[in-house]
Structure 1
Amino acid sequence: MRQSIGDWTRSGSPWVWLNAGAVAISVIMVIGLLILIASRGLGHFWPAAIMEADVRAPDGSRYHMVGEKVEAVTVPAEQVRAAGIDVPAGQETVDRYLMKIGNRDVYGSDFRWVIADHIEQISHPESLIAVERREWGNYYGYLLALKENGQVIAQQGKGENKIWPEFEKRIERALNIHDEIYQIEKHDIGRINYTIERLRLKQRSLELKGKDTAQNLAEIDAERAQLNAEYEVLQAKLADLYVAANRDSFVAMAMNGAETEVSLSKVVRAFQPNMMGLGDKMAFYGAKLWEFMTDEPREANTEGGIFPAIFGTVMMVILMSILVTPFGVVAAVYLREYAKQGFITRMIRIAVNNLAGVPSIVYGVFGLGFFVYFLGGHIDDLFFPEALPAPTFGTPGLMWASLTLALLTVPVVIVATEEGLARIPRSVREGSLALGATKAETLWRVVLPMASPAMMTGVILAVARAAGEVAPLMLVGVVKLAPSLPLDGNYPFIHLDQKFMHLGFHIYDVGFQSPNVEAARPLVYATALLLVVVIALLNLSAIAIRNHLREKYKALEM
């Protein structure tokens, strides 16, 4: 018997298909977005070939160009004609290439748009080199000579590769020296400076308490003198390392024929992409990707890595989860198990649900006013008077950022936990009480374990929201570049008062505040992909815990 359209509609089948289609479209859009982000971001680390060509300028003159093609776009011919560039009559579109020419210290800009039809005599010489520097971006050109203490020790003509092996050895030596300098400056001297500052605060504390006796001050002075002696030794070693690092340099020729001398202490790596095989390129790609995830940023966050931002994001989310879980669970337990169900309880639930819809920037303003200025200021007055007027906790930092996001996400945990408590049968509670358990024991040993999967669901939702928030963090602790990690080897090891970096804010800063937009664009995509991966890993960890708890207490629900 054939089913009529009305019967089919009343059966609910259209809504099933509509929901299935909506879910399918959403999944396709998410996958497409991830593919777009991955292709735009991860492709940045692949060593592109370097092109050498002659280019016809709009005024009819010609110039020599060396660089790599970054992007190709097609624009209307009228747009190009409006810029004063001649385009053949009848041509409707024009192809343009974004070329990374590097050598920002020579040309003032390391990117240039070029009309594809104006590029002539294209070649890819194997002797062209790309040098990644700590400042001024990449250098593209021909290696001409190596110098040691200002004296030429090896040289070659344009298009030759005779001195490349020696060049690589000296770069490796310079990198080893740079690592030693970094270790001394960042860790050894940093530890001494941190200890000296704590001695200063200890002395100030003794003065405020009236305990600055000669004996106590002598002990502090003796310890300070020992630290100063260690500092002098490290400074002398550091001076020798700087001399050794600046010993070698290289001379190269840029595309305009200008010869430039660069110290090897400013070089991160040098490579010849036109000579690389597939295996070499894959090894280079892996090294660049590893550097991106484990190194510190440089060049206004447009080069280097983003490890401090990864670390700050994960640490903040973990602290937020530790803070939000007990508050949310206690509030939900009170509302469901102890509070009298009436008008006031309903109003509280409505208020909790409304809190979930408050814009996040409002929480940031509240966190700045209450946590930082009020609570942090009073903590400084009570516990850190020796540091005043410099604030300790009376300034934005990791603790206040975590508390602000815990406050932002606590409604999610409350609602999820309440729903989990409501699903537990009343007979389970009555059975526990009938066996002689008190209400507190029933709650702690029976009800809460059975509701733990719902609690973890709330934590998962909280992590997913908090990890991507940026607006409140801009007010309560996140910064463009943090000089040190909030977790290190200096007592008390976890520095909750320090400012930190965050992946979400890093995306905003690089994408919208960078002075070099073209160089920053691929890093925005790569950082966005990494943020999605970090959030996914945090959520998967919480989901694994929730599933384990669900399996553990499944028998109690039957």
Structure 2
Amino acid sequence: MKQNNLKSWYKSGAPGVWMSGGAVAIAVIMTLGLLTVIAIRGLGHFWPADVIEADYRIPGQEARVMLGEVVQIEEVPRARLAAAGMPVATEGGEFMTRELLKVGNRELFGADFSWVVGEWLSDARAPAEITVLERREWGNFYGYVVDVREGGEVVAEGDAAWMELQARIERVEELHTQLVRLEKKEIGRINHGMERLRLAQRKLQLENRLTAEAQAGLDAERAQLDADYAKLEARMVELYSAVNRDSVTLRASDGRETTVALGKVVRAYRPNAMGPLDKMGFYGAKLWEFVSDEPREANTEGGIFPAIFGTVLMVLIMAVIVTPFGVVAAVYLREYAKQGPLTRIIRIAVNNLAGVPSIVYGVFGLGFFVYVLGGSIDSLFFPESAPAPTFGTPGLMWASLTLAILTLPVVIVATEEGLARIPRAVREGSLALGATKAETLWKVVIPMASPAMMTGLILAVARAAGEVAPLMLVGVVKLAPSLPLNGNYPYLHLDQKIMHLGFHIYDVGFQSPNVEAARPLVYATALLLVVVIALLNLTAVYIRNHLREKYKALDH
């Protein structure tokens, strides 16, 4: 009886259902676990950790004071430390504790991080007066505030120095904002205008149309730009002088004092004196800086807004290019092409293209789009720029086109499947009412297949946003803080190089000279890339669901 019940259970298909459900559950749990690990390791980096001060005594050496944040704690075999030349006693347990401290003060100690043996640390304490300076260059500085100076003269010291430091940092930050706006917008506009005049003059020379009147007009515009630049330069010198007027003197853990110009300081804070609400406010400010600011310190500090902007803009341009081409190709193959051996071969080729390694598309994009197509565009439309290339060099346009070619098979296949699901009766009914085949196709069939097209676009966006290998060849670079969309004509600069979140992860994780400082940013950027892809996909899913509801009635 039991055997018959078991056979019936197997024949009912229940084992397959349970196995499929279990596999899906395991996949979901693994995905959520991975995202959780990435979130904890990445987002935890922005929390203001307490700074400890402790005496560090290596056996046989004089004790010294260590000051820094505890980043990592691990147990290592005692024999491993002994093999590294450290004076470790043979007696004791098999393992000893090793701690990674972020000590900062790179100009004094040579490195931001230092490994220490936990058992040799003693009298650990967390004084509230320990100050952390987050700088635009050279990383953090850890120490005690000695005094604040203006033009080299001491204006505050002791307990009053901390409040004076905060007020002057706020002043410097406002001046720095004005300076950045001046350099990027105003001076950038003038530089763009000077380059435009240079190219206009060169073009007139090549066409033998550089008359005295034309030269006079160009000279008048150039003189006006020079006059504007002289005013901006004077303002810039004034701002630089004001920014670098104030400084702060700090005493490091070894007693040495260092003077830091406040123009190089982003913020100063005392994590040991912060309460929970203060730390949460600081955490929110750091997160906002991460998603809205530009990178600094070889991409290991600051924000990644140019990479976010470049990723989203490139994916949007790719979507605008790939969707019409993919839809038109699918419509031809399904509705117009004769269904024979040639059409089947084309479909096989399209399916095979989806499995081609992405780096192959990158090489194709570099060889055809950049060198052939871009070089031809330069010779035809931008001869005045020679020998400097305009479109004959990697840039936003070629990166988007390469991704469009890479994701084209996905859109074609998804659209074809959507067209194949449209009932034949719908087509015949439209034709019977007097509509032409083209009217039936564009007003009935394609709208009903639009959810499938959006599904193809979702898959294309998901793949394109995470690609790195081809983009390294066709337009993505390590640092491009100038956005390709600005107020200078033609506003959207398709020839400009961009930053990308995927390439930023690769660069920070594998090319950074400061590995320990870069590691948490790899996790944070990876999490942000997942969030960006999810938001792009959710937007497409919303549009698809809206279209599905709109044309649902036509399916019945």
Question: One fold, TM greater than 0.5?
Answer: yes
Match of 2:268 among 249, 270, 278: 270
1:483 CA drift (Å): 3.8
Q: Report the CA distance shift for 1:59/1:363 in structure 2 as closer, same or farther (over 3 A).
A: farther
8 Å CA contact 2:306–2:481 kept in 1: the answer is no
8 Å CA contact 2:427–2:440 kept in 1: the answer is yes
- Higher mean alpha-carbon deviation, 486-495 vs 175-184, is at 175-184
Aligned-partner residue type, residue 133 of structure 1: R
Aligned-partner residue type, residue 220 of structure 1: L
Match of 1:175 among 166, 173, 176: 173
Q: How does 1:362-441 map to 2 (within 5 A)?
A: 362-441=360-439
Q: How does 1:135-214 map to 2 (within 5 A)?
A: 135-156=137-158, 161-214=159-212
1:237 CA drift (Å): 0.9
- Higher mean alpha-carbon deviation, 345-354 vs 204-213, is at 204-213
8 Å CA contact 1:76–1:92 kept in 2: the answer is yes
For residues 290 and 59 of structure 1, the distance between their equivalents in structure 2, rounded to whole angstroms, comes to: 48
- Higher mean alpha-carbon deviation, 172-181 vs 397-406, is at 172-181
Report what 1:102 is aligned to: 104
Match of 2:246 among 234, 244, 248: 248
8 Å CA contact 2:295–2:304 kept in 1: the answer is yes
8 Å CA contact 1:104–1:136 kept in 2: the answer is yes
Report what 1:26 is aligned to: 27
Match of 1:318 among 300, 307, 316: 316
1:209 CA drift (Å): 1.5
Report what 1:70 is aligned to: 71
Q: How does 1:440-455 map to 2 (within 5 A)?
A: 440-455=438-453
Q: Report the CA distance shift for 1:432/1:35 in structure 2 as closer, same or farther (over 3 A).
A: same
For residues 523 and 345 of structure 1, the distance between their equivalents in structure 2, rounded to whole angstroms, comes to: 49
Report what 2:523 is aligned to: 525
8 Å CA contact 2:52–2:125 kept in 1: the answer is yes
For residues 426 and 326 of structure 1, the distance between their equivalents in structure 2, rounded to whole angstroms, comes to: 24
Aligned-partner residue type, residue 262 of structure 1: V
For residues 33 and 46 of structure 2, the distance between their equivalents in structure 1, rounded to whole angstroms, comes to: 21
For residues 347 and 307 of structure 1, the distance between their equivalents in structure 2, rounded to whole angstroms, comes to: 44
8 Å CA contact 1:80–1:87 kept in 2: the answer is no
- Higher mean alpha-carbon deviation, 468-477 vs 273-282, is at 273-282
1:8 has 2:36 as partner: no
Aligned-partner residue type, residue 238 of structure 2: D
Aligned-partner residue type, residue 549 of structure 1: L
Report what 1:44 is aligned to: 45
1:128 has 2:152 as partner: no
Q: How does 1:343-358 map to 2 (within 5 A)?
A: 343-358=341-356
For residues 177 and 10 of structure 1, the distance between their equivalents in structure 2, rounded to whole angstroms, comes to: 76
For residues 290 and 80 of structure 1, the distance between their equivalents in structure 2, rounded to whole angstroms, comes to: 41
Match of 1:281 among 262, 267, 279: 279
Q: How does 1:446-525 map to 2 (within 5 A)?
A: 446-525=444-523
For residues 181 and 244 of structure 1, the distance between their equivalents in structure 2, rounded to whole angstroms, comes to: 10
- Higher mean alpha-carbon deviation, 11-20 vs 272-281, is at 11-20
Secondary structure of 1:467's aligned partner: helix
Aligned-partner residue type, residue 109 of structure 1: A
Report what 2:18 is aligned to: 17
- Higher mean alpha-carbon deviation, 59-68 vs 188-197, is at 59-68
Secondary structure of 2:403's aligned partner: helix
Aligned-partner residue type, residue 18 of structure 1: M
For residues 320 and 59 of structure 2, the distance between their equivalents in structure 1, rounded to whole angstroms, comes to: 62
For residues 80 and 411 of structure 2, the distance between their equivalents in structure 1, rounded to whole angstroms, comes to: 54
8 Å CA contact 1:103–1:137 kept in 2: the answer is yes
1:87 CA drift (Å): 4.4
Report what 2:336 is aligned to: 338
Report what 1:119 is aligned to: 121
1:4 CA drift (Å): 3.1
1:30-57 CA distance string (max 9 Å, x none): 0000100000000000001110001123
The count of aligned residue pairs is 554
Secondary structure of 2:466's aligned partner: coil
Secondary structure of 2:407's aligned partner: helix
**Could you tell me the percent identity over the aligned residues?**
68
For residues 484 and 450 of structure 1, the distance between their equivalents in structure 2, rounded to whole angstroms, comes to: 42
- Higher mean alpha-carbon deviation, 36-45 vs 112-121, is at 112-121
1:171 CA drift (Å): 0.8
- Higher mean alpha-carbon deviation, 309-318 vs 90-99, is at 90-99
1:5 CA drift (Å): 2.6
For residues 29 and 374 of structure 1, the distance between their equivalents in structure 2, rounded to whole angstroms, comes to: 45
8 Å CA contact 1:250–1:262 kept in 2: the answer is yes
8 Å CA contact 2:294–2:481 kept in 1: the answer is no
Aligned-partner residue type, residue 426 of structure 2: V
Aligned-partner residue type, residue 246 of structure 2: D
- Higher mean alpha-carbon deviation, 544-553 vs 82-91, is at 82-91
For residues 354 and 61 of structure 2, the distance between their equivalents in structure 1, rounded to whole angstroms, comes to: 62
Q: TM-score, normalised by structure 2?
A: 0.98
1:328 CA drift (Å): 0.5
For residues 167 and 242 of structure 2, the distance between their equivalents in structure 1, rounded to whole angstroms, comes to: 15
Secondary structure of 2:388's aligned partner: coil
Aligned-partner residue type, residue 65 of structure 2: H
For residues 94 and 208 of structure 1, the distance between their equivalents in structure 2, rounded to whole angstroms, comes to: 75
1:413-463 CA distance string (max 9 Å, x none): 000000000000000000000000000000000000000000000000000
1:206 CA drift (Å): 1.1
8 Å CA contact 1:51–1:68 kept in 2: the answer is yes
1:124-145 CA distance string (max 9 Å, x none): 0111100000111000000001
Secondary structure of 1:51's aligned partner: strand
Report what 1:81 is aligned to: 82
For residues 102 and 517 of structure 1, the distance between their equivalents in structure 2, rounded to whole angstroms, comes to: 14
8 Å CA contact 1:100–1:112 kept in 2: the answer is yes
- Higher mean alpha-carbon deviation, 58-67 vs 287-296, is at 58-67
For residues 309 and 146 of structure 2, the distance between their equivalents in structure 1, rounded to whole angstroms, comes to: 42
Q: Provide the aligned C-alpha RMSD in A.
A: 1.0
- Higher mean alpha-carbon deviation, 48-57 vs 502-511, is at 48-57
For residues 433 and 95 of structure 1, the distance between their equivalents in structure 2, rounded to whole angstroms, comes to: 80
1:353 CA drift (Å): 0.4
1:114 CA drift (Å): 1.1
Q: TM-score, normalised by structure 1?
A: 0.98
1:90 CA drift (Å): 4.4
1:520 CA drift (Å): 0.2
Report what 1:361 is aligned to: 359
